[in-house]
Structure 1
């Protein structure tokens, strides 16, 4: 019997691979549900709402989960802003779902003198967006990066990710941002609050050593690296700090 009372589970590369299902990932989620084990699907993606993530899992991978099982870097960013309570005015560099969720959480749009500037992945990014973010941070706005992913994998190859845009703004402002998503502390602490368990009671499951596994290592949470996505078998002997567990497939894990 596993000693873990709950699980944090990555999505892309762990439950599916782009548009390709990973059957063991679906079986793993269903096993957690059948055994009434609490879990959160933990993703750095800010371009989709939890409801959209839920719909994608249902329609494209036949995985049925509750919206409450999905915790994104967007939700963690909102939770962080509410916690530090510097004000309610925000300027966001990011896509529509991110902006919508932040505004629906009670924050107000402000371009000149916001309390926060949030920078995320934005495929419609303009120079003017970057200019407004830079000027607002220079005037004292708190600089938040949603997630550190420098690249995102696509059918075209590795495209610029949120981390690349955040670093551009950091270079322009000479201000270091607070970065929320995996492997940083904020998303992990907020996820622990959501699931209602301690660090020793949860296991971080993912395919990417640099984000998923480092999220566990840096926050003293046990980790399970599954070799179904980003990090490959040949990479394992060279990893600076080994994961707690390494498996070829989630089918090998016993709850």
Structure 2
């Protein structure tokens, strides 16, 4: 029985600044049912409060405590391994704040760990620093492997594109935290205080959301609101070697299914 949900954002609840039809009702329904959930995003540039503000601005009720970002998961991963570690950051506000709040020490002087996310001011100088830090023995952590990001004027390079440059320069493969890695999902599952088999992942992308859910041992709910469509689904399934447990045309059909699940659960009780 599903007792909690991990919900993707971009492509699932919104496209950029535009809410997907039914996203507000989906979240409202979960809150009315008292079903716990977390928003799980590969975005490392925004803080949890920034993500919540973005959602609320579109009419989707959200609180910072309900947000799990790849930046927070990366910082917590490093802090669990090496409390108080010296960390060099290649990233933006969300990642910098997450590192500080995890009790890690930000430094560019002989760091023990390099944590890299999206950095829209990435430069040859930063690439050189990363090369020297990592070749000097620093562990390399990548918040998320997304190669592209949707922008207001079209696609932009993502954190994974920067990571590809660093990996090419150093010859070192990073530890990936964000989807499709199970690390971010397991972090979120711990926050929910549930078992993986009690949690379902809701997402639009077979290669990230659904693959991560499968890797973490969760049930998976694919909505055809974003990356994965009827036309490309078979290709995505072959690529990730997994199928979603349920497929929904839109958020309205998903919400109706969730309401039915809650009704069945209440009858069993």
Normalising to structure 2: TM-score of the pair? 0.90
Matching of residue 169 in structure 1 with residue 170 in structure 2: no
> Partner residue of 2:42?
44
TM-fit CA distance, 1:105 = 2.6
TM-fit CA distance, 1:87 = 4.8
| Bigger shift: residues 36-45 or 164-173 | 164-173
> Partner residue of 2:187?
190
- How far, CA to CA, are the matches of 1:118 and 1:104 in structure 2? 14
> Partner residue of 2:245?
244
Per-residue Cα deviation, 1:132-177 (whole angstroms, up to 9, x for no partner):
1110111111100000101111233221110011111111111111
Matching of residue 136 in structure 1 with residue 133 in structure 2: yes
1:182 aligns to what SS in structure 2? coil
> Partner residue of 2:91?
94
Of 32, 35, 41, 2:33 maps to 35
How many residues were matched structurally? 252
Per-residue Cα deviation, 1:159-212 (whole angstroms, up to 9, x for no partner):
111001111111111111101001102111111101111111011100111111
Alpha-carbon contact 1:93-1:130 (below 8 Å) kept: no
1:8-157 equivalence runs, <5 A: 8-59=6-57, 61-85=58-82, 87-157=84-154
Alpha-carbon contact 2:225-2:249 (below 8 Å) kept: yes
- How far, CA to CA, are the matches of 1:135 and 1:86 in structure 2? 23
Matching of residue 234 in structure 1 with residue 235 in structure 2: no
What's the Cα RMSD here?
Answer: 1.3
Alpha-carbon contact 1:116-1:141 (below 8 Å) kept: yes
- How far, CA to CA, are the matches of 1:216 and 1:96 in structure 2? 27
Alpha-carbon contact 2:84-2:105 (below 8 Å) kept: no
TM-fit CA distance, 1:249 = 1.1
Per-residue Cα deviation, 1:5-39 (whole angstroms, up to 9, x for no partner):
00000011111111111121211111100000000
Runs of 4 or more consecutive aligned structure 1 residues displaced over 4 Å after TM superposition? none
Alignment CA distance shift 1:237-1:136 (3 Å): closer
Alpha-carbon contact 1:91-1:110 (below 8 Å) kept: yes
